[in-house]
């Protein structure tokens, strides 16, 4: 196991980064979602290392204390993608397996479709292809109801409501560690700015629905209260490469924390090791 840099500077932003596993292992980049930072993969990483994989995780824009720009527009998805590619560039990694959960999954679909030359494959966790999500939102009430929280998240002052009474709303809906992290100064605003920058205005232009050519796996759990079955099952129709759908029974939205063994198995299977 070789030592890894603890921070990487990309322009004026400084990201907390962790690299682990065998030095010669095939690289895997794992992107976290909201509101948990890269610690969400703590249970997954050792299993990937034992399988011989080299992992890269980082606390993304808004989550690393040194990478919290004040301007909402700084959080548009093109910048979030550039951060991921910049970390890989700084580490000298030309191509790797990509994994993304929740918001990390949204970024992942864009990276997989717009930069296929940088990735050997993609493992989306919970989050379906943007075209599948759009279809589910247009086609029925289930996904619209599951996504209704977004309108609250983009409101000015949502931070105060979410952090009121010792962050009771966060603590009821997300892992304890994530709720604690979001109470750090500036952390919650950084996370909410992902929603404010990308789920307002011309959403389709910001997050285009392009087909994916690289081998792809979608891991979805039937207890997910944010992302429904329709968007998960419809994602197959947007992938031209080898596609695998892994359904986890009795697991909620927090797949990396609640089902690390199953997620690691899906990643290892896609990595082909």
Domain coordinates of the chain in residue numbers? 7-271
Q: Would you tell me the crossing angle of helices 77-90 and 187-198 to the nearest 10 degrees?
A: 120
Residue 37 pLDDT > 90: yes
This prediction's pTM: 0.96
215 has pLDDT over 60 = yes
| Per-residue model confidence (pLDDT) at position 183 | 93
Q: 7-271 adopts what CATH topology?
A: Rossmann fold (3.40.50)
Distance between CA atoms of residues 136 and 225, nearest Å:
14
Supply the pLDDT for residue 4.
56
Distance CA 94, CA 82 (A): 14
pLDDT at 3 over 60: no
Give the contacts of 42 (CB within 8 A, at least 6 positions apart).
none
Give the per-residue pLDDT at 182. Answer: 94
- The whole-number pLDDT of residue 139 equals 87
């Amino acid at each position: 196991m070789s030592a890894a840099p603890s921070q990487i500077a990309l322009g004026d932003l400084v990201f907390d980064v962790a690299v682990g596993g065998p030095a010669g292992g095939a690289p895997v980049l794992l992107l976290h979602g909201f509101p948990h930072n890269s610690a969400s993969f703590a249970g997954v990483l050792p299993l990937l290392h034992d399988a011989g994989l080299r992992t890269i995780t980082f606390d993304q824009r808004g989550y690393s204390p040194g990478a919290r720009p004040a301007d909402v527009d700084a959080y548009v998805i093109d910048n979030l993608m550039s951060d991921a590619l910049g970390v890989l560039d700084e580490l000298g990694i030309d191509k790797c397996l990509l994994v993304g959960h929740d918001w990390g999954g949204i970024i992942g679909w864009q990276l997989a479709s717009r930069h296929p030359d940088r990735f050997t494959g993609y493992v989306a966790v919970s989050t379906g292809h943007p075209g599948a999500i759009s279809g589910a939102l247009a086609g029925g009430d289930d996904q619209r109801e599951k996504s209704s929280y977004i309108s609250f998240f983009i409101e000015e002052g949502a931070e105060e409501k979410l952090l009121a009474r010792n962050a009771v709303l966060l603590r009821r809906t997300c892992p304890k560690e994530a709720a604690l992290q979001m109470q750090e100064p500036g952390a919650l605003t950084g996370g909410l700015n992902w929603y404010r920058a990308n789920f307002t205005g011309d959403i389709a232009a910001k997050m285009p629905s392009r087909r994916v050519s690289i081998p792809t796996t979608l891991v979805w759990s039937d207890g997910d209260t944010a992302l429904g079955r329709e968007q998960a099952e419809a994602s197959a129709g947007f992938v031209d490469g080898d596609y695998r759908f892994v359904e986890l029974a009795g697991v909620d939205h927090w797949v990396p924390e609640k089902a690390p063994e199953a997620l690691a198995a899906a990643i290892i299977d896609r990595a082909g090791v």
